[in-house]
Structure 1
Amino acid sequence: MTCIRWLSSLRRTSGTSRKACEEDGLRNKRSVNEEYLEAFRTKSYIEICNKAQVRIGKTSTKTLSSSSSSSSSPSSIPLCMQLTEYLLEPRQETITNITKRLKLHHLLVEYFEASLEACRCCDTILEAIHSMRFAYRRITRVVKLSKMVLDDANDQSNNNNNKDAMYRELASFALQNNPLSSVNTVQFRVIHDKYVELLHRLRSMRREIRRRLTMKRVFKNVAGVALVTSHSVVLVALLVFAFHSMVGLVAAPSILCSLVGLFLKKDRENIGLRACERLCEQLDVAAKGVYILINDLDTMSRMVKRLHDEVEHRRVVAQVCVRNGKCEILKQVMREFCDQESSFLELLDELEGHVYLCFLTTNRSRRLVMQEITEKKD
């Protein structure tokens, strides 16, 4: 999006100086970033974050208390938050009941199933994020110990103990599994391809229905004018004949009934056209929802891949440091971990924010589709 606005700004300012073009591009870039950040300041986003944090806090407390008697470390505790059942709107049970009652189009049913699958994928990412935070506490402890070593440079015995503790923490961090490995990139690609195919089918069905509606309207207008004109001519002729013959008086009611049937048939055709129009609107809203899902999942996939590679790099560095055992290598590793600690935790927070944003946009799309399905239109 930023690139598109940048190119458009270059076209608009083709006759201006290079400096003016760059300033315009920077202003557009800032405006895009402001729009992006604004999504994280909305009331609905804050509400869903608070709701999720309450659920996560309850789940984490329950999990920790249930495992306090075990010997497992906090980094190995499975969270199993299942926020989908807690945050998803409308609830899947409601969708199932309406599907049975109204006999929805199969593509709409597939849309609701796809949105449910996307939220469950978000669940997996959130569990990996929080497991990663538990696992990264080892690095945080190592960083604190390294600062203690620098502060107590004269206390050799204490420094040796701290260094031993640092090596133990680094060895444990290098040996443990990468929590982000549970979020399989292959799964992301499969979901992406499936959603792109669903988007294509939604758009194709909508275009096909639109073509049918256009043809029906044209045929209806032409046939309706011809039919009404012919019946009107016959009716006028029979009414004129009715004034001069008893046969006309007997035949006139049947002609009137046929005209009434004609108009009733026309009303049924109008109802059918309105039903097709509503289906088009439903498919259109569902297609927009799938498009948003694809973008959200692609963004999270890239962020997960980046964080996964960062963790793998830290594990390799920790392993090399432990195997080498030299003080100079340890200092260099600590310097790298100290410099990158805040940026890594910020990336985790940003990924978590995108997960909540995906929940928010998914719920919004589901509500819009459900509104199109259940809303009564004349």
Structure 2
Amino acid sequence: MLECVSVRPSTPNTNASIPTPSNSQGNSTEVEESEEGEEEDEEDEDASTASLNVSTEFLRAVQAPSYNEIRSIIQAPPPVHHPHDEDSHHRYLLSQLLQPDSNSVREALAKSKPTSKLTRLVSTYFDHSETTSDFCLRLLLTILRARDLYAPLSRLLSVLPADGPPLSQAQCDRAYDLFLQFDSQENPFVLSHLHQLRDSFSHLKGDIQRDLRRCHSRIRMFRHATAGCAVISVAVIAAVAVVAVHAAIGFTAVAATPFCVPRQKRRELARLKQLEAAENGTLVVNDINTIDSLVDRLQTAVEADKAFVRIALERGRERHPIQQVLKELTKNQPVLEHLLGDLEQHIYFCFYSVNKARYALLKEICNHQNL
């Protein structure tokens, strides 16, 4: 639970169960105020390490309690007192899935300067991450529509023998009617706006990285100023030693210390941590790319099945073309179901990644609001 806002977890231990990010979520540099040996090229490391251990991170995620809680929320039946129309249920699910929720984010950002560039960047990230969760939830409904589209054909295929005798005329008529029904419905995966999400995160990441470079430059400037301050302090102490007693020397050294660690540097370090957390959040684009690839494959698979069905429909209720199309559908069905299951799992993982990144960024915002 973050101290600066009342973050409402979807379940009691959601935040506690989030595992430590691996390299696949980006290398967020741990910057301590006492560290003076920070490398100048830290901002270039994410590009070379973001693709490492993706499979490990995915396997760790699907075994995490918070990941399973996301599945439970989505698969749970709607509350009896809740409206049953699709839009209302969608808003209800999104309010349960998106963590920290929008109210917690607004409450935290209200304490920041609304005109600052940092506030605009992190606010834009939170907006994009919410849009991502909203789209993923809608994509889950698309998966349900795809399964509904194939359900009648799947039931027919399940009762037909794999290598049995030729179909009876009644079976041909039944298959033909189901082909008509299947062909009349649209491909549920035709409309996809994932490229818009990709572009949004790409532009945001570019803005964040430009600000990160400026932030690193200012921190290096403060480091050089601190080194210069230390040299001056030594010189002052040496000069005082000539004309003053040891007590005066101690007083001068203590008095010079605050100037060696300026408040501006602490603020810049806090800004750096928030920018790094926001940049790590943009790595969800890797999940979006995976989802987009699966959606493309599913769209192609459904179109291929529709093409087979149209071949049979063009021949009327003839037994041979109908039987051949049913064989093709039988062969394609396991592949389609595997793709649907794979897409569903990656959508859950995307929810998990978004929530983990939102928690990390909001934590940095709350930790440094008093600077």
Please state which band the TM-score falls in when normalised by the shorter chain.
Answer: 0.7 to 0.9
**2:223 pairs with 1:203:** no
- After TM superposition, the structure 1 stretch with the greater mean CA deviation from structure 2, 367-376 or 35-44, is 35-44
For 1:59 and 1:81, the matched residues in 2 are separated by 13
RCO comparison, higher one (Cα < 8 Å, 6+): 2
Q: Which residue of 1 aligns with 2:145?
A: 131
For 2:309 and 2:350, the matched residues in 1 are separated by 34
Q: Which residue of 1 aligns with 2:296?
A: 305
Q: Which residue of 2 aligns with 1:275?
A: 267
Q: Which residue of 1 aligns with 2:42?
A: none
For 2:161 and 2:124, the matched residues in 1 are separated by 55
Alpha carbons 2:78, 2:89 under 8 Å: kept:
no
Q: CA 1:213/1:192 → structure 2, altered by over 3 Å: closer, same or farther?
A: same
For 2:231 and 2:330, the matched residues in 1 are separated by 81
For 1:59 and 1:160, the matched residues in 2 are separated by 46
Q: 1:264: Cα distance to partner?
A: 8.8
Provide Cα deviations, 1:49-77, integer angstroms capped at 9, x if missing partner. 122211xx3289989x87xxxxxxxxxx8
Q: 1:41 aligns with which of 63, 80, 99?
A: 63
**What is the percentage of aligned positions where both structures have the same residue?**
23
For 1:343 and 1:353, the matched residues in 2 are separated by 15
For 1:210 and 1:221, the matched residues in 2 are separated by 17
- After TM superposition, the structure 1 stretch with the greater mean CA deviation from structure 2, 109-118 or 31-40, is 31-40
Specify the structure having the higher radius of gyration (Cα). Answer: 1
Q: Which residue of 2 aligns with 1:73?
A: none
Q: Which residue of 1 aligns with 2:20?
A: none
SS in 2 for 1:180: coil
Provide Cα deviations, 1:5-62, integer angstroms capped at 9, x if missing partner. xxxxxxxxxxxxxxxxxxxxxxxxxx986764443233332222122211xx328998
The amino acid that maps onto 1:315 is K
Q: Which residue of 2 aligns with 1:180?
A: 189
**Structure 2 portions without partners, runs of 5+:** 1-52
The structure with the greater share of residues assigned to helix is 1
**2:343 pairs with 1:347:** no
Q: 1:196: Cα distance to partner?
A: 1.6
Q: CA 1:342/1:62 → structure 2, altered by over 3 Å: closer, same or farther?
A: farther
Alpha carbons 1:99, 1:109 under 8 Å: kept:
yes
**2:112 pairs with 1:102:** yes
Q: Which residue of 2 aligns with 1:20?
A: none
Corresponding residue pairs, total: 309
Q: Which residue of 2 aligns with 1:50?
A: 72
Query: Residues 246-265 of structure 1 correspond to what in structure 2 (within 5 A)?
Result: 263=256
**2:94 pairs with 1:88:** no
SS in 2 for 1:58: coil
Alpha carbons 2:274, 2:365 under 8 Å: kept:
yes
Q: CA 1:78/1:206 → structure 2, altered by over 3 Å: closer, same or farther?
A: closer
Q: 2:259 aligns with which of 261, 266, 269?
A: 266
Alpha carbons 1:78, 1:131 under 8 Å: kept:
no
**Structure 1 portions without partners, runs of 5+:** 1-30, 67-76, 241-251
**2:343 pairs with 1:322:** no
